[in-house]
Amino acid sequence: MGGLGLGLVIWMLIPTSTPELPQQITGDAKRGAYLARLSGCVTCHTSENGEPWAGGVALASDFGTFISPNITPNPEIGIGDWSFQEFVRAVRHGVAPDGTPYYPAFPFEFYATLTDRDLADMWAAVQEVPPSNFVPEENEVPLPFSIRQGVKLWRTFFYEPVDFVVDETKSTSWNRGRFMVEGPAHCAACHTPRNIAGGLDTDAQFAGASGGAAGWTAPPITTEALAEAGWTKESLIAALRTGLTPTGDAFGGAMAEVVHLSTSYLMDQHIEDMAEFLMDQ
């Protein structure tokens, strides 16, 4: 038993490995900035009245409060001294340059389907963000969750990245919508329940969830639930664009921020794609 325990400790201390990383290619910063909007980078890394991408946004959870870091190209405080491969490793695989696994408060599991081109464009966008000297506060995470290497155990049980496979029986718009909703837009991060360890209950995708200690509630957004609540494709498109529900109410809390900093910037076609998928899952 002692040997097993020692072996586990050694395994936890070994830097987290990742698959082979792509070589850097020239990216399109404009497209990358758009992908950053879709993926929630701006939403999570820009505090109210703060500098763009400078971090400082607090995410409360049952495991503590996580503070988003500065991801501007400041070489000392941000990620300006990273290589493209280190950026890919962080975003697609959830591993820091030193091999430390990121807490799943960072939704890297939803970014696994981003292509090398997507990530090259996002990296190009990072280079065009003004470097910020803002230093976010540290995470407020109590023991035992503050032991970062314990995330390796979490990854063993709950991190299962999968490739995106086109459903040939569905339209191009539907498949594009599914790619965005299940992938970079990471709708399931809030709208899918989690187990006691914080892992997603994939058998109940989009069935709604509670933020626990954070006090928020995300409603179910399965096709059936949306229809029962009176949503249509057209009203969903309007809500993702304006933040207003069919009854004239406005989204509140995190969803209001998602609309304000993310979906309201998306092309009409992409909003329609997402709505098409959600209304026909």
Q: Is 247 exposed, middle or buried (0-12, 13-18, 19+ CB in 10 A)?
A: exposed
| Predicted confidence (pLDDT) at residue 74 exceeds the cutoff of 60 | yes
pLDDT of residue 270: 98
pLDDT of residue 2: 45
Mean pLDDT of 47-67: 93
Mean pLDDT of the chain: 90
Indicate the range of 123-132, 153-162, 269-278 predicted with least confidence: 153-162
Class of domain 14-158: mainly alpha
pLDDT of residue 109: 93
Structure tokens at 10: 């050694």
pLDDT of residue 136: 98
d(CA 270, CA 278): 12
Residues 259 and 242 sit within 8 Å (Cβ to Cβ): yes
Residues 192 and 207 sit within 8 Å (Cβ to Cβ): yes
Mean pLDDT of 104-129: 96
Cα distances (angstroms) measured from residue 94 to each of 80, 98, 99, 168, 214: 18, 12, 9, 30, 23
Q: Per-residue pLDDT tens for 155-198?
A: 888 888 888 999 999 999 999 999 999 999 999 999 999 988 88
- Indicate the domain borders of the chain: 14-158, 172-278
Q: Per-residue pLDDT tens for 216-233?
A: 789 999 999 999 999 999
At 140, phi and psi to the nearest 5?
A: -110, 80
| Predicted confidence (pLDDT) at residue 280 exceeds the cutoff of 90 | yes
Instruction: Of 269, 73, 273, give the one whose Cα is nearest residue 170.
Output: 273
First-to-last alpha carbon distance for the chain, in angstroms, is 47
